Amino acid sequence: MKFNNILSFFTLAAEVVALSIGGKQMHIERDSDTLQSIVTYDEHSLKIYGERVFVFSGEFHPYRLPVPDLWLDVFQKIKALGFNVVSFYVHWALLEGEPGKYLADGVFAFEPFFNAAKQAGVYLIARPGPYINAESSGGGFPGWLQRIKGQLRTRAPDFLAATDNYMANICSSIAKAQITNGGPVILVQPENEYTGSSGTVIGGFPDADYFAYVKKQMRDAGIVVPFISNDASPKGIFAPGFSVNGSTAGDVDIYGVDSYPLGFDCAHPSTWPSGALSTTWHSTHEKQSPSTFFSLNEYQGGAFDPWGGLGFSQCAALINHEFERVFYKNNFAAAAALLNIYMIYGGTNWGNSGHPGGYTSYDYGSSITENREITREKYSQMKLEANFLKVSPSFLTVSVGTAAVGAFTDSSSIFATQLLGNGTACNFYVVRHSDFQQTTALTYKLSLNTSQGVLSIPQIDGSLTLSGRDSKWHVTDYDLGGKTLLYTTAEIFTWKKFDKKTVVVVYGGSNEQHELSVLSSSEAKQIEGTGVTIKSTVGQTILNWKVSSTRQVVQIGDLFVYILDRNTAYNYWVPDFVRADNWGAYTSNIENRTSVIVQAGYLVRSVYIKGAALHVDGDLNATVPIKVIGAPSNTNALHFNSLKLSFTTDPITGEWSSILPYAVPSITLPSLSKLNWKYLDNLPELLPTYDDSNWTLADHTSTNNPTTLKTPTSLYSSDYGYHTGVLLYRGHFTATGNESAFVITTQGGSAYGHSVWLNSTYIGSWAGIDKSSAKTATYTLPNLAAGKNYVLTVVIDNNGLDENWVVGPDEMKNPRGILNYAITGQVQPAVTWKLTGNLGGEQYLDKVRGPLNEGGFFAERQGYTAPYPPNHNWVAGSPEMGIDKAGVAFYQADFKLDIPHDYDVPLFFDFGNTTTSNGTANYRAQLWVNGYQFGKYVNNIGPQSSFPVPQGILDYHGQNWLAIELWAQQADGAHLTNFTLRAGTPVWTSMDEPRMAPRPSYSKRAGAY
């Protein structure tokens, strides 16, 4: 058992262990508690400033929302849930596109992210890798790692050396943002899901020396807060005391695990596989890491959807509010004290940043949608659960007691878990169906041991109801700031002790029977609503009721019990006032913070007092009532956003009531089909006069890539510095006259495609299918004239680099480009190949939008996707007219927006499905907005056809530049269908209007070809 206390720096020295990797002698700090005393922990929970905290965290990646001014909006929506922490990954490939040159400016800067978290009052868990997975291209690894010989994620000296510059820089930034320096970072995770291996691994697996090297990189950069881990399955790897060949050098401070119990089958959202609900979390943790609290550092909050899937709405239905009720409460029943929901906000895989297994959207079916809306019921359900734990400090010292079918109830179909208070009288009970898949309701009664003896509950009347796919909290001897809630079958949303009263808010499902009892001799009376049965007996006041949509309030002395149905509770919020000490806006123990309880509809972001006025800031999407419970006694005026409200005061409860008016704004959007579109041939390489002398010659006769070469020279794009976006190849040869077919094997990741031309003659395409990452295709050649020079032009889509989740096979090194080729009647060496990708490759030109944003098409190499391209002499042509033959077209237009101020309005670019007489048309399109690639649409694969683009990428009050690259993969060409700009529901918001992300305009690029 491990206890962390405030330590005197002069009495303790850091425990170190020496080891040698790659000829370097290292000293590894063993525990963070010798380095700082602010963030500590024991076997029960994390502590901050000595105060226990439940870590309710959500995953949010800043690189998936490239508008820094919108990060605060996301943080505030997470904080409004009742969460207190955000976990984030760092995508190495976006920061070190060129080896040795780390660049984290503009949309890639971390200081604005740290500042926004601090302003919102959200702590951070930093996860910089160097490997992250995260459905990101290369799992976060930069493409140039394909050129090193050493095995990735091992002690291979060249791999370790490759990580040094990145880790030194990013960890230095994180170190400066630690809580010890006044920042929000409280925990840091080395590596990621270091759990599985296959085949031979340098140094063996798991390798404590490799993991220790990563830890040392972090400590050397100044990181002093505790290290956590996230075992992809509970194997105990590097938990405290875990030993590899006698070495504990890789062990972290706080061991944690990941779990995605429903997997990623969004095609069957109502299917809960048998065995998906763990019943061994607690016992496994006690065996593997008994000195630390149970930590779920990634737990399923949604699912990724593959190319050809059914869309993220299906994933949201799979991991829905019912899943949260059953699976999250099952985690709490195992005494989890850290729960990080992956993802809480997914965002967008813009600019080629995603892995090949997924498309542009990374909505993930999460609680906050890709366009930052909070309309999914799962958001509201999560708020109920998080707010309960936020006001239940006694949960943080519980021990898991009896957990069995039939325990504490009269039903053999209910599984109940008892959580025993340690040092408190409070006990918690989590009940669920013994068959967690059950979709029908059942009734039951409780038999619970309380301070007043064993009670059969309900005591007055009726039975309790457990709906299908539901789980409930029941509590006994629950402390309400000095008052004892003897028991409640209704779930607690929140409670608060105000100046002269205490308020508790409970809720239940529609038409459920519930009962609670308060230890009190005070008279009870119903002051709002009807239908609550009240019974007083020997120091108890018992309330029994059937849940309805009508709010009911019962007063018991100076305790006010607010009884809600679940749907009404969804509209309640508990914003905290900012403290003036070290806690600031962060959430502290309920006894140490002041709050109000607000019913206000869509969103409440924050509260503050100015003069004698209480200000509530939030968002509205409809006219709704506002009720404020517990308004401070020194306030007498109420404001919502900029609006001063008149209100009434309830003479008994003191509750303030008013109406929040919502006005639907007038929004006018341009018709994209009527824009002044310009056209440019985006594949001039097909012209007989095209000069490719500036292209990269594919002349490497060997490769470090583990994929064996099948060609005279390497045609792997990363061997030449091209790691992102579309790739182009030109193969020059002199005909013998005997050629009849061209056979080519290409690889570009799932759902990729390729097209081939001989000189200017189209000879065929692989249009792609959802699961295929490589293709061998045979194309018939026309009759070639002996002695004449010919050029094969091959266009290959690169949908991102593979991840490297399993250590050993180095799947991230799976090459992109041409793997093999043959021309009948020719020998391979007769073809001389050149290739290109983004202009400059690793010496990429657009430092603002980053190293992955651009690919190899002509317009991208020229920089024509940026604002103010030199389009004066381009001909007219629109993407909805398209082209009449296979090829690639570039279309560009501009338009102005004038969206009303003070409204957050989601905007979407929608693509209609294009069909032909032969079925679905084969084409691909890329969407560019003010120079940012914000969509890759594949008409014949899908599923994504709607692409949200946030304010800050779009100028809502000015001019915008739009471009479409249309790649027709069929002989008769292609065109867009019903390409439109659409607005979602406008939300009146208190959010500050975001500034534009930097969007440098076009300037002629030296050396562009």
Say which amino acid occupies 185: V
Residues 309/314/319/321 CA torsion (nearest 10 deg): 170
Which three-class secondary structure state does DSSP give residue 710? coil
User: For residue 321, what are its two tokens?
Assistant: 């509010």
Name which residue leads in pLDDT, 904 or 6.
904
The residue behind tokens 């406008």 is 986
Tell me the C-alpha distance between 828 and 821, whole Å: 7
- Using the predicted structure, report yes or no on whether residue 611 has a pLDDT greater than 90: yes
- Would you state the pLDDT for residue 823? 98
Tell me the C-alpha distance between 514 and 542, whole Å: 11
Tell me the C-alpha distance between 612 and 56, whole Å: 33
> Which tens digits make up the pLDDT trace of 285-325?
999 999 999 999 999 999 999 999 999 999 999 999 999 99
Tell me the C-alpha distance between 683 and 706, whole Å: 32
Q: Which of 191, 298, 322, 860 is catalytic?
A: 298
User: For residue 55, what are its two tokens?
Assistant: 């870590």
Share of the chain above pLDDT 70, in %: 97
Nearest by Cα to 126 from 167, 93, 95, 163: 167
Tell me the C-alpha distance between 470 and 434, whole Å: 11
Cβ atoms of 818 and 778 closer than 8 Å: no
> Which tens digits make up the pLDDT trace of 35-68?
999 999 999 999 999 999 999 999 999 999 999 9
Q: Which of 193, 528, 842, 965 is catalytic?
A: 193
User: For residue 659, what are its two tokens?
Assistant: 């109406």
The residue behind tokens 């992250």 is 132
Tell me the C-alpha distance between 593 and 585, whole Å: 10
To 5 degrees, how large is the angle CA 388–CA 423–CA 420? 60
> Is position 193 annotated as part of the catalytic site?
yes
Nearest by Cα to 742 from 715, 762, 716: 762
> Which tens digits make up the pLDDT trace of 155-167?
999 999 999 999 9
Give DSSP secondary structure letters for 392-421. Answer: -GGGGG-EEEEEEETTTBS-TTEEEEEEE-
Cβ atoms of 441 and 466 closer than 8 Å: yes
- Using the predicted structure, report yes or no on whether residue 107 has a pLDDT greater than 90: yes
- Would you state the pLDDT for residue 31? 65
> Which tens digits make up the pLDDT trace of 925-963?
999 999 999 999 999 999 999 999 999 999 999 999 999
User: For residue 86, what are its two tokens?
Assistant: 């955000």
- Would you state the pLDDT for residue 626? 98
Say which amino acid occupies 788: K
Tell me the C-alpha distance between 705 and 717, whole Å: 11
Distances (CA, A) of 513 to 322, 459, 552, 619: 20, 12, 14, 34
Distances (CA, A) of 694 to 424, 620, 795: 75, 56, 17
DSSP 756: E
Establish how many alpha carbons lie within 13 A of residue 989's alpha carbon, considering only the half-sphere containing its beta carbon.
20
> Which tens digits make up the pLDDT trace of 727-774?
999 999 999 999 999 999 999 999 999 999 999 999 999 999 999 999
Positive or negative: CA dihedral 264, 267, 270, 275: negative
- Would you state the pLDDT for residue 666? 97
DSSP H helices in 48-156: 71-80, 92-95, 111-120
Going by their DSSP bridges, the two strands 959-968 and 887-896 should be labelled as antiparallel
DSSP H helices in 876-973: none
Cβ atoms of 852 and 841 closer than 8 Å: no
Nearest by Cα to 380 from 563, 601, 577, 546: 601
- Using the predicted structure, report yes or no on whether residue 591 has a pLDDT greater than 60: yes
Tell me the C-alpha distance between 75 and 78, whole Å: 5
Tell the burial category of 454 from Cβ atoms under 10 Å away from its Cβ (0-12, 13-18, 19+): exposed
> Please, which pLDDT band fits residue 21 given cuts at 50, 70 and 90?
low
- Would you state the pLDDT for residue 2? 36
Nearest by Cα to 937 from 800, 762, 751: 751
The residues, ordered by sequence, that sit 6+ positions from 70 with a Cβ below 8 Å of its Cβ are 372, 950, 951, 952, 994
Cβ atoms of 970 and 886 closer than 8 Å: yes
Residues in a beta bridge with 699: none
DSSP 179: G
DSSP 951: B
Q: E strands within 797-883? A: 817-823, 832-836, 875-876
> Which tens digits make up the pLDDT trace of 637-688?
999 998 999 999 999 999 999 999 999 999 999 999 999 999 999 999 999 9
User: For residue 450, what are its two tokens?
Assistant: 């309380």
Nearest by Cα to 141 from 157, 159, 126, 158: 159
User: For residue 589, what are its two tokens?
Assistant: 């123990």
The pLDDT of 712-720, averaged and rounded, is 98
Tell me the C-alpha distance between 14 and 33, whole Å: 9
Helix, strand, coil percentages in the chain from 3-state DSSP, rounded to 5: 15, 35, 50
- Using the predicted structure, report yes or no on whether residue 6 has a pLDDT greater than 80: no
> Which tens digits make up the pLDDT trace of 433-472?
999 999 999 999 999 999 999 999 999 989 999 999 999 9
The pLDDT of 104-124, averaged and rounded, is 98
- Would you state the pLDDT for residue 88? 98
Nearest by Cα to 432 from 460, 406, 458: 406
- Would you state the pLDDT for residue 9? 30
The pLDDT of 98-114, averaged and rounded, is 98
Tell me the C-alpha distance between 353 and 949, whole Å: 16
Tell me the C-alpha distance between 345 and 363, whole Å: 7
Cβ atoms of 436 and 468 closer than 8 Å: no
- Would you state the pLDDT for residue 3? 34
- Using the predicted structure, report yes or no on whether residue 921 has a pLDDT greater than 70: yes
Average pLDDT of the residues of the chain: 96
What pTM was computed for the model? 0.96
The pLDDT of 553-564, averaged and rounded, is 98
Tell me the C-alpha distance between 757 and 763, whole Å: 5
User: For residue 289, what are its two tokens?
Assistant: 């890491």
- Would you state the pLDDT for residue 629? 98
User: For residue 958, what are its two tokens?
Assistant: 């000015």
- Using the predicted structure, report yes or no on whether residue 16 has a pLDDT greater than 70: no
To 5 degrees, how large is the angle CA 657–CA 663–CA 664? 140
Establish how many alpha carbons lie within 13 A of residue 238's alpha carbon, considering only the half-sphere containing its beta carbon.
34
DSSP 689: T
> Please, which pLDDT band fits residue 269 given cuts at 50, 70 and 90?
very high
- Respond yes or no on whether the N-terminal peptide bond of residue 206 is cis (omega within 30° of 0): yes
To 5 degrees, how large is the angle CA 1006–CA 1007–CA 1009? 125
- Cα 985 vs. chain centroid, distance in angstroms? 23
Cβ atoms of 718 and 815 closer than 8 Å: yes
Radius of gyration of the chain (CA): 30
Tell the burial category of 517 from Cβ atoms under 10 Å away from its Cβ (0-12, 13-18, 19+): buried
